[in-house]
Amino acid sequence: MATTSISFAESSLLNLVLRRADDALILGHRLSEWCGHAPMVEEDIALANIALDLVGQARSLYGYAALVEGSGLTEDHFAYRREQHQYRNCLLVEQPNGDFAATIVRQVLFSAFMDLYWREMMTSRDKALAAMAGKAEKETAYHLRHSGEWLIRLGDGTDDSHERAQTALDELWVYTGELFEADDIERGLAQSGVAPDVLSLEGSWNQRLAPILREARLEIPQAPFMQSGGRSGRHSEHVGYILADLQYLQRTHPEAVW
Amino acid sequence: MSEKHLPLWEVFIRSRSGLAHKHCGSLHAADAEMALQAARDVYTRRGEGNSIWVVPSSAIVASDPADKDELFEPALSKIYRHPTFYDVPDEVGHM
Amino acid sequence: MYTQALNGIPDEATDQSSEAARFQARVDAEQKIEPNDWMPDAYRRTLVRQISQHAHSEIVGMLPEGNWITRAPSLKRKVALLAKVQDEAGHGLYLYAAAETLDVSREELIGQLLAGKAKYSSIFNYPTLTWADIGAIGWLVDGAAIMNQIPLCRCSYGPYARAMIRICKEESFHQRQGYEIMLTLARGTPEQKAMAQDALNRWWWPCLMMFGPPDSESQHSDQSTRWKIKRFSNDDLRQKFIDATVPQAHYLGLTIPDKELAYDDASGHWKIGPIDWAEFKRVLAGGGPCNRERMRARRKAHEDGAWVREAALAYAQKRRARREAMQIAAE
């Protein structure tokens, strides 16, 4: 039997849309794993809200990807029928939930980036992306507020929570460099006014984080090197397991409608 | 630590601008900011509101049901406070 | 809003018999009982037991469906399922809050659940083995729950009734999304249809057990009916569910797993074969396929979350102290 994966030509624009879509889907997937297992029922609901926002963003973006691709693929083809190396998400979002501190740190680092990103994307020459950014920015601003307030409480809570928060920050920091990596695709689309220049966001990102980390009494880690590879499809080992769950039914019953 | 468990908060939501905030439920949170966020996440999932108040449950003072008669009965007999108590001829029109 | 501050009327100080008569008269007149009102101890105990069981069921009920969130077969199904499981968390929360108006804390109630002293709906001790189970749970389990819950919107206890109104309103999409999943499967590939039939086979009888033991054996019914906590008997609600569901199954082209099922012209009801009450008792007593897993998952979430709750409390405490210190310094 032929493969159940889709094949498509990946233009720069399509690649960029898939980066944003895959980030949202994979992080939404991770957060949805919390549902039913959070520290208090209020937080089950809060994390599910963030996950729903993210999967919602992913759906809009995959829908646009399908439009850009133009051969009749759907959001689900992009979400479910690609091979691991075709996923364009950054390494940060695929990291396991760990304890609540790791989940919160991952969220703060990512949301602080995306909030800036969406805000700039609102003025994109690409009207569809600008419209999606307008909606996503409001959602992301709240994600940052929620996770930021939690990080302050964990960092400045008990000795135990402080240590967990600092450990999570130390461990996840190495995945933040990738957020600002401007390859030819990012650079090209930034130059043509379609997408923000990610390289230019790093300074603002540090400024966004600084007061949160200060209030949380956390130290910015000294990372001698950064990890990257997600944007070009070289992921961590975790992604295989995420996709095994995510794609299981679509791959087992490729002809089925759900 | 003065408290062992997350305290209880009462949540009031304004459903549309112009309306008063209305009590809609309770939740547990460690402090006001977290209570506000939890109220947003729990009680406005379906677009139920555009403004939220949260109040520590312990800050609410309630009337005692045993005092119901002395508190509320006296008002029932003061019918002259209501417009229907007064006769105005129909010819005068709406007043 | 419910404050405990003015609840301090000792029972001994009141005339039990006349208070009790007045209470029953109010219930008979369909007036709502509110948290600070006098109520018989047994009424309070019954409500705490029932509302907390109901809350626990919502929270434990998140687990079997939560299983499938990461494996949902399309993004549309994924967001619907996640929103549904999230609603269940919300419903658990509303119900814990309703129980808390009766002078018992959420921590105590959760403690009872984790210690194995409190019950929850035994339906959640069955496994979700395929995607069709998500359809079957929405259609059948939520369908049965709605039958039980709609009359509770008129329960004599105000906070419980109000929580149930909100819950019923939110739940109205749950059953429809479940049925839509079943319909899609029933009209799908042969494998999908088989999956749907298999799910119905496994969930049908446990769903009928959700209404509780037959009226002839139900311990609490009489008093609960007098107190207007319960409006219909277990058997009446079960029959209502069967009558509503059998035609829905036929529409799907699926077979109800009951050889004795037959329509009775005289009564206008579908008659079913005997329910295996031994299974019901076994699952309730801890012998269901997933009792241990469910409790283990809840205990783990509670224990793993302890340091988070402690941190939030410690931070609130520190911030209060800092603010007070600043005020003193300013004075």
- Written as one string, the DSSP assignment of C8-22 is ---GGGS-HHHHHHH
- Residue C5 pLDDT: 34
Residues of chain A with a CB closer than 8 angstroms to some CB in chain B? 40, 42, 45-46, 49, 145-146, 149, 153
With 50 as the cut, is the pLDDT of residue C6 above it? Answer: no
Question: What pLDDT score was predicted for residue C12?
Answer: 44
Instruction: Check: CB of residue C239 under 8 Å from CB of residue C269.
Output: yes
Q: B3-85 has which CATH code?
A: 3.10.20.520
Under a CB-based contact definition with an 8 Å cutoff, are residues A180 and A196 in contact? no
Q: In this predicted structure, what is the pLDDT of residue B31? A: 97
ipTM metric = 0.97
Q: One-letter amino acid identity for C238?
A: R
Average pLDDT value for chain C: 93
- Which amino acid, residue A36? G
Structure tokens at A150: 């939690």
Q: Does B57 touch chain A (CB under 8 A)?
A: no
What whole-number distance in Å separates Cα of residue B42 and Cα of residue A45?
6
> How far is Cα of residue A124 from the mean position of the Cα atoms in its chain?
20
**Percent of chain C surpassing pLDDT 90:** 88
What is chain A's Cα-based Rg? 18
Lowest mean pLDDT among C31-45, C61-75, C160-174, C212-226: C212-226
Of C74, C86, C191, which has the smallest distance from its Cβ to A35's Cβ? Answer: C86
Buried b (16+ CB within 10 A) or exposed e, A141-152: ebbbebbbbbbb
Rounded Cα gap, residues A114 and A19, in angstroms: 12
Q: Flag whether residue C312 sits within 8 Å of chain A, measured between CB atoms.
A: yes
Instruction: Give the tens place of pLDDT for each residue, B45-91.
Output: 998 899 999 999 999 998 888 888 899 999 988 999 998 899 999 99
Domain boundary assignment for chain A: 12-217+230-252
- Residue C284 contacts by C-beta under 8 Å, 6 or more apart in sequence? C119, C122
What distance in Å separates the CA atoms of residue A90 and residue A238, rounded to the nearest whole number?
12
**What DSSP character marks residue A8?**
-
Alpha helices (H) in chain A, listed in sequence order: 12-32, 41-69, 75-80, 91-94, 100-121, 127-155, 159-172, 184-191, 202-215, 238-252
In the stretch 63-92 of chain C, residues with CB closer than 8 A to chain A read: 63, 66, 69-79, 82-83, 85-86, 89-90, 92
Q: DSSP 3-state assignment of C126?
A: coil
Assign C217 a pLDDT band (cuts: 50, 70, 90).
Answer: confident
* Chains linked to A by 3 or more Cβ pairs within 8 Å: B, C
B53: nearest Cα among B27, B19, B23 = B23
Look-up of token digits 């310094």: C329
Q: Which pLDDT score is estimated for B66?
A: 81
Residue B41 confidence class, pLDDT cut points 50, 70, 90: very high
Over range C210-231, report the average pLDDT.
Answer: 86
A79 at C interface, C-beta within 8 A:
yes
Checking if the pLDDT of A129 tops 50, the result is: yes
Residue-wise pLDDT tens digits, C37-78: 999 999 999 999 999 999 999 999 999 999 999 999 999 999
Mutate which of B31, B48, B63 to disrupt the C interface (most C C-beta within 10 Å)? B31
With bands split at pLDDT 50, 70 and 90, how would you rate the model's confidence at B3?
low
Q: Would the pTM count as exceeding 0.80? A: yes
In chain A, residues with a C-beta closer than 8 Å to the C-beta of C300 are 37
Angstroms from B12 CA to nearest CA on chain C: 10
C326 touching B (Cβ < 8 Å): no
Residue boundaries of the structural domains of chain B: 3-85
Distance CA B9, CA C314 (A): 18
Report chain A's terminal Cα–Cα distance, integer Å.
Answer: 22
Q: Which fold has domain A12-217+230-252?
A: Ferritin (1.20.1260)
Q: Reply yes or no on whether the pLDDT at A223 is more than 90.
A: no
Residue C2's pLDDT is 39
Chain C closest-CA separation from residue B77 CA (Å): 22
Contact B28 A153 (CB under 8 A): no
| Residue A3 pLDDT > 60 | yes
Q: What confidence tier does C198 reach under pLDDT thresholds 50, 70, 90? A: very high
- The CA-CA-CA angle for residues A211, A212, A217, to 5°, reads 95
pLDDT band at C7; cut points 50, 70, 90: very low
Q: Which residues of B touch A40 (CB under 8 A)?
A: 6, 28
**pLDDT score of B65:** 83
Segment C200-206 mean pLDDT: 98
Q: Is the minimum CB–CB distance between C227 and chain B shorter than 8 Å? A: no
Which among A222-226, C2-6, C295-299 has the top mean pLDDT? C295-299
Give the Cα separation of C27 and C270 in Å (integer): 34
Continuous segment of H or E residues that includes residue A222: none
Separation between Cα atoms, residue A230 and residue A22, nearest integer Å: 10
Question: Do C188 and A257 contact (CB within 8 A), yes or no?
Answer: yes
For residue B1, pLDDT beyond 60: no
Q: Which tokens go with C15?
A: 């005339």
In this predicted structure, the answer to whether residue B2 has a pLDDT above a threshold of 80 is no
pLDDT (mean) for A182-186: 95
